[in-house]
Amino acid sequence: MRFVDSTELRAGFAARLSTLYGTEVPAYTTLVDVSHEVNQRVMRRDPEAAQRLGTIARVTAERHGAIRVGSPAELAQVARIFGALGMYPTGFYDLRDARPRPIPVISTAFRPTDRAELARNPFRVFTSMLVPEDGRFFDTDLAQRLRTFVGGRRLFGDELLTLADHAEAEGGLKETDAERFLTLATAAFALSPEPVDRAWYSELERVSDVAADIGGVTSTHINHLTPRVLDIDDLYADMSSRGIAMIDRIQGPPRWEGPDVLLRQTSFRALSEPRRFREPDGSVRDGELRVRFGEVEARGVALTPAGRDLYDRLVAAVDERTAARPDDDRQDVAAEVWREGMPRTERELAERELAFFTYRVRENGPAGPPPATASAADLITGGWVEPEPIVYEDFLPRSAAGIFASNLSGAGHLDTDEGGTDRDLAWLSGAVDREIHVPEELYRAESEASLAAALAELGTTPRPSSPA
């Protein structure tokens, strides 16, 4: 019988989730259609530039999902399911101090970590976990009841988890098991028809809508599924002209004529969806909730820690200037700040080591090998190699907070006199008993391996014009 490897499982899962979400949230289908139209327009303009950060095949299939869970035990189970799909926890995001609104979660993203796997299918899932221990949001009584509620539910059945472990150990599953695994895994993220306990949900909503969405129901669900576009400004205008209410801006770096860095995202507002409620008197009534929405994103080059510092400084400068000039458009102010502070070309980003690149040896470079001690910048300026951008595969905490906040209706409640609870990547890694990858380390390793390969190629390949 045919063996279905983890790459094919991942692509299959992403496709099934997309079909599911399209039936649950029809506006998502519109978003995907418009994204494809935008991508075709960009491809017609300049196919080479359009595919500089990934082939059109990759970009067309590319999605990220978002899910939310209630405890380390649940997150560890999620890690087993995604492990079967070749997706590993990467990055740590703490949204509890987020502006404009703190959210009682910490997050990571499950994604392929290997370049070839990303090229085959880059599916990733932003995964948030509730922190009931954080006294700023929950008092001890509510925290205890939340832990009991979450501890008593089962998001994923034994059959699904067993198949997941098997797939992760073997690198895939035989065809019939693969089919069963994909069916169960997709169903685990569907919106449940189970009635929502009104009193419990409302109690949590008073603290935070996100806490209610996570801990107020007995199952989890996909919160959004995000296609990638090559021109997010075009998409924003197109969706708005179709009468779909978008959030008021695009999150992340501004539109400008220089290189795209990191990630730009926008979304349409959460739509009300029919949900059933169990009332305090025991009756079941129809109602609605607004928690799920549509998001879209455009990706740029990954920044080195120095580049990220520069980015953060520019964002702070945009904040200051918009506060001082409240009548000016934030996008215009941001573009102005970018022109003053951000390199205008990819090449300058590479030479100043502000972004991550791989290196391609140039056909008609200088005669003779570079000095053994040459840095990447020396190889570029000396004409030996051409830098090629590494696409940013991760998320931005500030945009994530903005995406959460723009889709919440209640203000929530925060008790700033209470202390928070320390949570970091090491804690999360221990709690789920898995390594959590550090994005910048992955990009750096890829860049360094490419540099070493380029040097080896330059040192060993006799060049036609070389006098030797």
Per CB under 6 A, 126 contacts ligand OOG: yes
Contacted by 220, from Ni ion, ligand OOG, none: CB < 5 to 8 Å by type: none
- Find the part of the chain contacting ligand OOG (CB under 6 A) among 42-50, 146-154, 400-408, 410-418: 400-408
CA distances from 100 to 92, 308, 354 (A): 19, 21, 28
Q: Does 265 bind ligand OOG (CB under 6 A)?
A: yes
Q: Which is nearer to ligand OOG, 71 or 128 (CB)?
A: 128
Q: Contact between 399 and ligand OOG (CB under 6 A)?
A: yes
* Closest approach of Ni ion to the CB of residue 225, in Å: 9
- Kindly state whether residue 113 participates in binding ligand OOG, applying the rule CB under 6 A: no
Rounded Cα distance, 110 and 98, in Å: 21
Among the candidate windows 29-37, 135-143, 152-160, 392-400, which touches ligand OOG by CB under 6 A? 392-400
| Site mask for ligand OOG (CB under 6 A), range 275-314, x = bound | --------------------x-------------------
Interface with Ni ion (CB under 5 A), residue total 3
User: Which residue in the set 38, 217, 400, 436 belongs to the binding site for ligand OOG (CB under 6 A)?
Assistant: 400
Using the minimum distance from each CB to Ni ion, give the nearer residue, 195 or 227.
Answer: 227
Does position 403 interact with ligand OOG (CB under 6 A)? The reply is yes
Q: Which stretch binds ligand OOG (CB under 6 A): 52-60, 72-80, 395-403, 424-432?
A: 395-403
Which residues contribute to the site for ligand OOG (CB under 6 A)? 66, 68, 126, 128, 223, 265, 295, 395, 399-400, 403-404
